[in-house]
Amino acid sequence: MKILISLTGATGLIYGVRLMEVLNKTEHHVSLIMSRWAKETLLIETDVTVDYVHALADQVYDNDDLAAAVSSGSYGIDATIIAPCSMKTLAAIANGYSEKLIVRTADVALKERRPLVLMPRETPLSLIHLRNMTTVTEAGGILLPPMPAFYHRPETIDDIVNQSIGKVLDFLKIPHNLFERWRSDQ
């Protein structure tokens, strides 16, 4: 698969970084776009560098490059994931405001009827957020907020992050062993 991962400035960059780390160990071709605020938030929230994240991708695109290959449906991205997805990015997607490459690629995914997975990060949610989520869902996007489960008894932050990333991989039908699945005999 050709997978596009976009990272925005919302809190929770650890989700996007972990997804990149997992996909880097697969045969899938992974492209990356990072917003300016994603780069800033990465430095605040993690101990990894922008160069580290870039090295996990097969191809890196600048968010200002609307002529990038991934801005066209003919390029053939199989799945687009925005992790984390800021409310600003969600609003732009919901309203077709493709000023930056991240939003343009989401628009392409929707118009081409290809998987678009958003991991929105905000709490509490306003009515505006909920309406934007509804609009994106009605257009074919998948909202997959990182809401941890606890039946697998997570012991570390990595356990919590891996469960949410595993849900993204499940949606894309990419095999993994990132978390223990529900069993009725627990």
CATH number at residue 66: 3.40.50.1950
Per-residue confidence (pLDDT) for residue 186, from 0 to 100: 55
Asked, for residue 186, whether it belongs to a domain, the answer is: no
Asked, for residue 183, whether it belongs to a domain, the answer is: no
Q: How many domains does the chain have?
A: 1
Asked, for residue 178, whether it belongs to a domain, the answer is: no
Q: Check: pTM over 0.75? Answer yes or no.
A: yes
Asked, for residue 79, whether it belongs to a domain, the answer is: yes
**Per-residue b or e along 79-101, where b marks 16 or more CB atoms closer than 10 Å to that residue's CB:** bbbbbbbbbbbbbbbbeeebebb
**Per-residue b or e along 6-28, where b marks 16 or more CB atoms closer than 10 Å to that residue's CB:** bbbbbebbbbbbbbbebbeeeeb
Low-confidence ranges of the chain (pLDDT < 50): none
Provide the token pair at 76.
Answer: 């053939």
Per-residue confidence (pLDDT) for residue 182, from 0 to 100: 84
Asked, for residue 9, whether it belongs to a domain, the answer is: yes
Domain limits at 61? Answer: 2-171
pLDDT digits 0-9 by tens, 90-139: 999 999 999 999 999 999 999 999 999 999 999 999 999 999 999 999 99
